[in-house]
Amino acid sequence: MEQNGKLFVISAPSGAGKTTLIKRVLARFARVSYSVSHTTRSPRPGEIHGKDYFFINQDQFVHMIDTGHWLEWARVHGHYYGTSKAFVTEQLEKGNTLLLDIDVQGAGQIMASGLDPVSIFIMPPSLAVLRRRLENRGTDDPQTIARRLENAQQEIAQKHMFQYVLVNDDLETASAQLCRIFEKEM
């Protein structure tokens, strides 16, 4: 596929600080656009349909799987998440730089798609720190936190798939490192 734009894929376990780091990249690089994913989960407080995610129901999502709409999709934490193939292709053909915030499963699908993304995995400093971050977020019950920590271990075990692995121990340091990756690759 002919592609003029640059595609960045960022993955991390839930609670590793990915969203905060992505916001900093987007604030720093005006040429980078955020690819809004679709999900079947409910919006968290403050999330806006069309800005943070496109929130759709499970029947709609499954129909879009059946019709080949997704560049990548996965079921994570009991909910579906996916990236529109048409949207990504259109943006890259226009020469735009696009940032995708997706789980490890989706990142693997995109890396296998022939789009040649720059892939970045954000690590928590430790599972203990990750647990604290998830608890301090105050959005999940203990059972959900336990499931997220279990998933985090599986995701961390796949970090070797990524071109870059960044440990988010200190937000300022991690932010500077991530911005340097964008500067180098753009």
Length of the chain: 186
Nearest to 38 by CA among 70, 77, 78: 70
Number of helices (H), then strands (E), in the chain: 7, 9
| Strand partners for 74 | 81
Which domains, from first to last, does the chain contain?
Answer: 7-185 (3.40.50.300)
Query: pLDDT of the chain along its 186 residues, tens only?
Result: 445 889 999 999 988 989 899 999 999 999 999 999 999 999 988 999 998 899 999 999 999 999 999 999 988 778 999 999 998 999 899 999 999 998 898 899 999 988 899 999 999 999 999 899 888 888 888 998 998 899 999 999 999 999 999 999 999 999 999 999 999 999
Q: Which residue has the tokens 């999900």?
A: 39
CB 186 within 8 A of CB 6: yes
